[in-house]
Structure 1
Amino acid sequence: MLHKFGFSQYESKVYETLAATMQPMDATMIVKHSGVPKAKIYEVISRMVEKGMVLESISEKKKLYTALALPLVIEKLTAEFKSDIKELEQQKLQKEIVDDRVWSLKADTSIESQIKQMLVDADRSIRYSSWKEDFQKYLPILEEKERAGVRVEALAVGEIHSGLKNLVIMEPNEEHVSLERFRLLIVDDAEVIFAGVENEAWQAIKTRSQPFVRVFTDYFYHDVLLSKITTKYNDVLMNDTEIMNQLLQLRY
């Protein structure tokens, strides 16, 4: 009867044999009355003892076995079933399908809305960089998220007054020929949106593709590091024409 509850046929036979008598049995007697092969009996009995369905004792150097009373078996199986159901309810049965496609956006209002929504939805981390005019639009959300425990790292091109703990300011040099307006947002190490101006119009890409997320994360820290270096060693770099010429060609 127990095979209906996930027990093997041999396990069920051992329990039924022991439950049918009030007297304890040794392994030889169980083999005789259950039909379980002698070569399998100790393995089967051991599993039933481990599962709490069979009780074991030693009398005169002989191991004896008896079955757990049926009412207790019913109570045990009911409790385990309820526990399994509870665990099942807590499991996320449907595997999340990650959309790793790269989406393009062309309207500035759409790009701004996407950035705002991604910031609001952030749970663990935010990396954001942009020019100060765009930065100011999202500053209240960034500060609120940091207060809520989200790790916020930010880079602003142009001076920003904020209490953000990890804010790097980069003041562009007048000779920065390659410095263009941009917006970069990476949320929870899972999603990125990058926007730039082309033909005087904003365009952007948005994706959850992990290779892109990692590339833009490196891109973000590249900008942060260069900003810190050029700020800290500005006087030295300004006197090194070769290095300054190369730095000024960078987008950062």
Structure 2
Amino acid sequence: MLHKFGFSQYESKVYETLAATMQPMDATMIVKHSGVPKAKIYEVISRMVEKGMVLESISEKKKLYTALALPLVIEKLTSEFQSDIKELEQQKLQKEIVDDRVWSLKADTSIQSQIKQMMLEAVSSIRYSSWKDDFLNFLPILEEKERGGISVEALSVGDIPSELQHLVILEPNKEHVSLERFRLLIVDDAEVIFAGVEDDAWQAIKTRSQPFVRFFTDYFHHDVLLSKITTKYNDVLMKDTEIMAQLLQLRY
């Protein structure tokens, strides 16, 4: 009967044999009455003892065995079943399959729609950087997300009025203005979209590939740090044209 609860056929026979008698039995008697092969009996009994289904004792240098009372077996199996159910409920039954492909996207309106959707769906963190005119389009969402408890880090090329706690401003000079525009969004450390201008048209890539996510996260922090350095030491850097030129080359 126990094989219905995950026990082997031999384990079930050993328990049924012991449960059918009030007297303890040794291995030889269990073999005789259960039909379990002698070569297997000690292995099977040992498993049943480990599972708490059979009790063992030594009497006159002989090991004797008896079955756990049936009401206790029912209680034990019920408890273990309920515990397994709770464990199952706490586990994800389906392993999420991550799409790590890199998708290309064109058309400014489509790119902005993707950025907006990703921001709205963020559940833990947002990192966003762009030029001022693009930034203002998404500022209300970023501020609302931060008020809702989402971690928001941002970089704007150009000063903007904002309530964001972690916003870095880079005031562009004439050298910065010559650089191409960009948009970078990283959501929940899981998905990234990077957009730039090529042949006077916006193009973007979007991916959940973790190597790309980590790369663009480092890229974002690189830009933030570079912006802070450029802003803090602007007077000094502007006097050194060689260093200033090299710093500008570090930016997209």
Letter in 1 for 2:169: I
Instruction: Quote the residue 1:130 is aligned against.
Output: 130
Instruction: Quote the residue 2:192 is aligned against.
Output: 192
How far the C-alpha of 1:32 sits from its partner, in A, is 4.0
Distance (whole Å) between structure 2 residues aligned to residue 152 and residue 61 of structure 1: 73
How far the C-alpha of 1:104 sits from its partner, in A, is 2.4
Deviation string 1:121-141 (CA, Å, 9 cap, x unpaired) is 111221100112221222222
Letter in 1 for 2:242: E
Stretches of structure 1 that go unaligned for 5 or more consecutive residues are none
1:175 counterpart SS class: helix
How far the C-alpha of 1:63 sits from its partner, in A, is 4.5
Compared CA separation, residues 62 and 178, structure 1 to 2 (3 A)? farther
2:224 counterpart SS class: helix
Instruction: Quote the residue 1:69 is aligned against.
Output: 69
User: Percent sequence identity over matched residues?
Assistant: 88
Distance (whole Å) between structure 1 residues aligned to residue 60 and residue 240 of structure 2: 95
Distance (whole Å) between structure 2 residues aligned to residue 60 and residue 228 of structure 1: 85
Instruction: Quote the residue 2:218 is aligned against.
Output: 218
Compared CA separation, residues 55 and 178, structure 1 to 2 (3 A)? farther
Does the alignment pair 1:146 with 2:178? no
State TM-score, norm by structure 2. 0.87
Does the alignment pair 1:17 with 2:26? no
Query: RMSD across aligned C-alpha pairs, in angstroms?
Result: 2.4
Letter in 2 for 1:176: H
State TM-score, norm by structure 1. 0.87
How far the C-alpha of 1:115 sits from its partner, in A, is 0.8
Does the alignment pair 1:48 with 2:48? yes
How far the C-alpha of 1:209 sits from its partner, in A, is 1.9
Distance (whole Å) between structure 1 residues aligned to residue 53 and residue 152 of structure 2: 55
**Count of residue pairs the alignment pairs up:** 252
Stretches of structure 2 that go unaligned for 5 or more consecutive residues are none
Letter in 2 for 1:216: F
Deviation string 1:140-199 (CA, Å, 9 cap, x unpaired) is 222222233322211111112323232211111212364222111011111111112233
Does the alignment pair 1:183 with 2:161? no
How far the C-alpha of 1:227 sits from its partner, in A, is 0.6
Distance (whole Å) between structure 2 residues aligned to residue 142 and residue 56 of structure 1: 67
62-71 or 101-110: bigger deviation = 62-71
